[in-house]
Amino acid sequence: MKSTLLLLLAGITALVTVYACNKAANPQPPIYDTVTITKTDTLVLPPVSDTPNMTEGLVLYLPFNGSFADSSGNNNIVTPLAGAALGYDLHGYANSAFISSGNGARLVVGNNGSYAVDTAFSVSFDFVIRSNTYYYGGGNYTGLMCFLSIVDTTNAFGPTFDAGLTNPASPQTFTFGVNSATSSCDNTGTSNIQNVASTTNFAPQIGSWYNAICIFTKGALSVYINGQLQGTQTGLDPAVLFCPNANFVVGAWWSGGGNLSNLESINGELDEVRFYNRTLTARQIAWLSRNFQPTSMKMNSGIKKGGAPGIGAN
């Protein structure tokens, strides 16, 4: 019995020894947990541009970058008259704004068929006035200042619109008016400066730069100063008059027939003149007025002012 048990133990020991040798000679591959990772690319969209589309419907653009040329791409011919010159803009850059001393200097923009208006248009421009001259009355309009207009410059017939300043003694305010499409191109029109439509009580300060945006949309007028709505008028005819002999005028009303008192030319500067054949959006209005503070009616801090005495903004 004892010998049998010893033989059994010896056999088990031999089997264990053989298994251990075989395991060492033929090692089994280790077992690992398998984890599948799926990588998903995340599409990151570029940020929306802060600059809206400012070229749609732009039929005239006068940035005054060293010349009077139209930069809209429509190649409208701009003719400077009566000593029209370039001066410092609100940032202090020379030859970068239209300047006039109220002596009739103006720009007349020829129409090669690229601009016309009917039920909607917008104009935007920066301006500064240098004086508040007296309005004489009795047919002498020397004290009034017209910034922009569309009119037959030879006889003041058939005006489309007018943006400018009223009588300085009333007190002086900014006005924007239009002429109805039912009017005639064969009669002398009345500019809004003579109270066709006064849409705002805003009065500019001498020496301060402002942005003005005037919009006509199907019988409604809107005036924005430095991006803020300053006045509206509704109930007008849905379309404005546009005559074949009319031209876009910068800095005056018409030729005055040789009479300086009828020119209504500005004493100050104009810059960044834009004319659209459509209504501007709220975002576009905000972008055009981005260099101006809406509450104080002053330029934004940090913007360089004029580089010569009597030229820069205060």
Please state which of the ranges 173-182, 221-230, 266-275 shows the lowest mean pLDDT.
173-182
CATH of the domain at 177: 2.60.120.200
- Please check the confidence at residue 37 and state whether its pLDDT lies above 50: no
User: Does the residue 162 lie in any domain?
Assistant: yes
Contact between residue 122 and residue 214 where contact means Cβ atoms under 8 Å apart: yes
For residue 17, pLDDT over 70 is answered with no
What is the sign, positive or negative, of the torsion defined by CA atoms of 92, 95, 96, 101?
Answer: positive
Kindly state whether residue 169 falls inside one of the protein's structural domains: yes
> Among residues 123, 68, 117, which one has the least CA distance to residue 284?
123
In a domain, 2, yes or no: no
What pLDDT, on a 0 to 100 scale, did the predictor assign at position 189? 58
Residue that wins the pLDDT comparison between 279 and 134: 279
CA atoms of 221 and 209, how far apart (whole Å) = 23
Question: What domain range includes position 262?
Answer: 58-288
Residue 176 pLDDT > 70: yes
Measuring CA to CA, how many Å separate 298 from each of 106, 172, 276?
26, 18, 25
Q: Pick the closest to residue 137 from 212, 197, 193 (CA basis).
A: 193
Report the alpha-carbon distance of residue 119 to residue 117 in Å, rounded: 7
* More reliable by pLDDT, 44 or 239: 239
pLDDT band, very low/low/confident/very high, at 134 (cuts 50, 70, 90): confident
* Residue pLDDT, tens place only, 55-78: 999 999 999 999 999 999 999 999
Residues 128/134/140/145 CA torsion (nearest 10 deg): 10
Task: Give the pLDDT of residue 193.
Answer: 37
φ, ψ for residue 101, nearest 5 deg = -105, 15
Is 30 a domain residue? no
137 within some domain? yes
The pLDDT, as a whole number, for residue 113 is 92
User: In this structure, what token pair is assigned to residue 141?
Assistant: 């309009």
pLDDT band for 297, please (50, 70, 90 cuts).
very low
**Average of per-residue pLDDT values in the chain:** 78
The verdict on residue 194 lying in a domain is: yes
Name the amino acid, one letter, at 6.
Answer: L
Total count of domains within the chain: 1
Residue 240 lies in a domain: yes
